[in-house]
Structure 1
Amino acid sequence: MFRELRLKLTLINVGVMALLLLLFIIGTFFVMQVQIFNQSQQLMQIIASEAGSGSVNNTREHDKHLAKYFYLKTDESGKITENSSALPLPLDQLTPLVEKAINSPNPKGEVELHDEAYTFLKVPLKQTPGFVITFVDLERDREILRELLLTLSVGGLVCLGLSYYGSRFMADRAMAPIKSSWQRQQDFVADASHELRTPLTVVQVNLELVKGNSDETVASQSKWLDNSLLEMKRMSKLVDDLLFLARADSQQQTLEMKQFPLNTALREVIESFKPLAETHEILLECSLNSEGMYYGDENRIKQLMVILLDNALKYTPSGGQVSLSLQNWGTLAEITVSDTGEGIDQEHLAKIFERFYRVDQARSQQTEGTGLGLAIADWIIRSHHGRIKVSSSPGKGTTFVVSLPK
């Protein structure tokens, strides 16, 4: 699939480049053709004017122009009365050329003689009856145009070849994030399927046990029903998190921005975790002395704190400590969540915000969670134009530092 897409992108780029080169070649050719034609017309005007006044300087004009030219003067009957010094053919062989020009209804045009083309300009003499006819050989002009067209064509083909390889390179660069996104989507679907399969299997097994003991009371089978209810809650949480991230990816997840006291919001969150901390014999401390208003989505900031505190309590053993602090640094509000838990190896720190990423698969199976919390936290922080840093030492604990612009 990606190979076909890369080829398609390459061919589209090459096609666009070929069209642009074609337009450039055609435009350049016609511009040069018009300029060369105008130069020939100007040359004939000059020669006709000077021939009429008898002051033609052949040497000067030959040095100035590459085109071969000559002029002839005739009486009103078409008989040649005067000619320039340089003639391409004997004078008697030029008579048919003069007759064609004399008989032409237009004062200028093109005539051919012995497979050679000439452009002419016919101007009446002022003092005596007759004409001065200036001829310019078109072969030199056509040769210049042929060489120009050949040069442009060869250059265009070379550029087209280079554009093919350049387009392949750019297509590979463009495909890199697409491949990455595709792989992440595939992994996301596989991980989501795996996470959903476990609670569904548990629910199915427990309900089959209940159904197999249909004669027993509900109270006697509460164990199986409680297991099913617990897994349903876990699955509901997982679906909610998946829906949240799906809306975030499609930019449909909106924020309700408003001014609110950040320290009050954090205090409300930490108060809700105190019973859980006491149950697990974990010391929960907070330092929220900094006051001030913060502009953001209060509910999402609370959700962010819930995720960080919940993770800290999950991975901190009994007798450990979890602390939350808030400090103001100019235009930044800095929130720090630290624990004295198990810690995280350095190799995992850069990946913990990926969806469904598990530092320890065996440990994660024993701990409730969807594996999406830190991915949601990362989105909330980025949506508030903030940043998060994490430092950890295995066996000593982990510290998350969230910086939010006020």
Structure 2
Amino acid sequence: MKNEPSLLWRLRRYLHRQSREPGAALFSGLRLRLTLWYSSVLAIALIFFGVTLYLGVQQLLLSPITDDLTSHAQMGAQGWLAISPDHSCSMPSPRPGVVPDIVPHDPILIACFDQNANLLQEENTSQLPTAFLDTSLALKAMQNGSASDIIDTGGPLGQVDRYALGIPGPDGKSYLGVIVVGKSVQAQETALSIILTLLFAVGGVTMLGAVIGGLFLSHRALVPARLAWNNQQRFIADASHELRTPLTLLRADAEVLLRSRKGMDPEDAELLEDIVTEANHMTTLANNMLTLARLDAGSQHREHEVVSLDTIVQAGLRRVTAFADQKSITLHAEVRDDLRVIGDPLLLEQALLVLLDNAIKYNHAGGSVTIHTALVDQQAQIEISDTGIGIPAEHLPNLGERFYRVDKARSRAAGGTGLGLSIARSIATSHDGSLRLESTPHEGTRALLTLPAASSSQTHQAQEAIALASPPMQSK
């Protein structure tokens, strides 16, 4: 008992460490999907095996009884026609040397009905269970020639298998009556019930073991993929970080040379301008790749502050106003000042800038961009709508994939890298939010950034934490 807290603490520490590992969300989803596939295949196999086994045993147990009842009904029909209607339910005597099927501990129940489905009284009729004498089966036999069912008679007989056979009249169109025979199948039904219970129990335990084993095996199977993914993310982050310094120096040197362009050959000046443009593009690409690698690895430093969406939106609008004026784009804002979220203001502003930049960049001259914030089901939403060129429906599912661009030539000319939406979506995901895109060609695009809204209690707790973290003011 003394080791329980230590084991629980170690388990929580292990799970926390697993959740903090790079790509934990990605590989957790893969692990669950693999386990689901393993379990589904096993479940289908178990269901097929169980149904086949149950039906096979049912046929093995009940088929001889059905054949026996059919034989007795035919013998009863012969007795009806050969002996006399007054003794219609009397069985013909067995031939010499033939042992009768009826034994004292497992009797055959017999009842006869006339053409109006009225019970014909015999010596043993009063000893038959009431449920066995129900006329519904006799009526079905008069319509179809024969019928069968299983009823619960209660008492020692329990479940009884009944078979009814119509006695055809001389004209072959009507029936003289119906003979109903039955036999207790309580022992067989009990055996089938036990088999069914065992199948469910064994199947449930097997499925539980399959899920646990599947989680373990899928975790082991994904270890090489996890290592390769971590190495790839580390390589991208290191390469992006190392590229930023030489690119910055290259751009700075080219800009210095351009200051003395008056004494320079015009073609050389154009080459230097191309160098500056490409250096800027590559610097943006390296920065975006580094940001994505850090977001994927969970190493991106992220603050947890109470952030006003009004502040984020106003800051984003200020940064894109000049770009919008250059493109003759009108900006409209319909922002609530009471929406708060818990997150990193710099990252949220970066995601907003990505969406605003795309809305302006792929818009028509004289178009407009509208920003609207709302609170829907305790979710803070930032909606950015534009009147731009729109996106064909077949491209919408792929938006957000890295380096995916609808029009590569136009995106390249506009300075796009194909990573902006990936960054915005990763930032939204890291804040437990989502990013959804809707678009109609030649009409515009709508981006909806959804984030969990901060409750008043969360806001109060965050403010108290900031107050406690701040150093106290010293009086002079």
Normalised by the length of structure 1, the TM-score is 0.48
Normalised by the length of structure 2, the TM-score is 0.42
